[in-house]
Amino acid sequence: MKKTSMATYMPVLTKVIETTEKMGEQMNPSFEKIRKAIDDGTVDKMVPAEFNDIQMEFTDGTEQYQQNLANLKKVQAPARLIGKHRNLVAAYEKYVEACAAMTASLNIETTTVDVDAFNQAEKDQETSMDHVSNDVQRIMAMVM
């Protein structure tokens, strides 16, 4: 069995972190628009094309996160990081599920939002991203 090295593991981890941050920054303005419309009770006044664009952006972001998850599942962690890596994969998977749930809460046909599902997805994203961040920090601490 070939020994897994940090040289093969760390680039994958770094790319996942970078693309996750980039997608989050890219999607945040759209998230803020939907959040404000929900809070103001004006979702029904949104332009359908803009609502559709937001839903498509969320779909694209979720697909990127799913690709990141696939990369995390595929890469072999060095032996001393296996436990932390498994925790990271589990937390990231919950994050991806929460992103998919948020995307699914947007109904482009009726330009409506399932507010309860959206709010739950937002909470689940925050919780799981906290776990992802903690797991990454623990991995980095073990590597340094």
pLDDT, tens digit (0-9, with 9 covering 90-100), for 9-51: 999 999 999 999 999 999 999 999 999 999 999 999 999 999 9
Classify domain 6-141 by CATH architecture: Up-down Bundle (1.20)
Q: Confidence band (pLDDT; 50, 70, 90) for 123?
A: very high
Identity (one letter) of the amino acid at 81? L
Q: Where are the domains of the chain?
A: 6-141
Partners of residue 113 on adjacent β-strands: 106
- Is pLDDT at 3 greater than 60 in this prediction? no
Closest CA to 92 of 108, 71, 109, 112: 71
pLDDT, tens digit (0-9, with 9 covering 90-100), for 60-111: 999 999 999 999 999 999 999 999 999 999 999 999 999 999 999 999 999 9
Q: Is 106 left (phi over 0), alpha (psi -120 to 50) or beta?
A: beta
